Amino acid sequence: MADTSSTTIQTILSCRCPRCGRGKLFNGVLAVHDKCQACELDLTKGDTGDAGAVPIIIVLGAIIGGLAVWTEFHFSPPWWVHAMIWPTVTVPAAVLLMRLSKSVMIAVQYRHRATEMGL
């Protein structure tokens, strides 16, 4: 018998279907597939939309803002260094965290058989 908690974590981290672990969860960067390509689990009811965006904006904004202030006080770089560094760090981090957030929420809904997923 497989360890379900490690399997669930692997499924979440690899952004795969919570039922079969094989089908890709995302169709592009942040759009969720309508159905799992491997087992045809209906993923439309588990799509969380922008639900994970608010905590990510708050936490990532605090971290990036803190790093920007720390960088300014310790190194005093010209303004264009800030303009080059922080968007380059923030955008990929936000996309990665949004993908993980959606993957976690869909897996949790599936695991706890949320009625919205039609299980």
**Which spans of this chain sit near Zn ion (rule: CB under 5 A)?**
17, 19-20, 23, 36, 38-39, 41
How far is 43 from 49, CA to CA, in rounded Å?
12
Q: Report in angstroms how near the CB of residue 21 gets to Zn ion at its nearest.
A: 7
In the bound complex, what is the minimum distance in angstroms from residue 114's beta carbon to Zn ion? Answer: 16
Q: In the complex, what is the shortest distance from the CB of residue 7 to Zn ion, in angstroms, rounded to a whole number? A: 13
Going by the DSSP 8-state scheme, the letter that residue 115 receives in this structure is G
Neighbour-count burial for 34-69, b at 16+ CB within 10 Å, e otherwise: eebeeeebebeebbbeeebbeebeeebeeebeeeee
Please report the beta strands in the chain, taking only residues with DSSP state E, as ranges in sequence order. none
Least distance to Zn ion from the beta carbon of 43, Å?
9
Q: Which residue has the tokens 């979440």?
A: 12
- Closest CB to Zn ion among residues 18, 56: 18
Nearer to Zn ion among residue 38 and residue 89 (C-beta): 38
User: Based on CB atoms, which residue is closest to Zn ion, 40 or 50?
Assistant: 40
* Residue 20: CB atoms within 10 Å: 14
Which C-beta is closer to Zn ion: that of 13 or that of 63?
A: 13
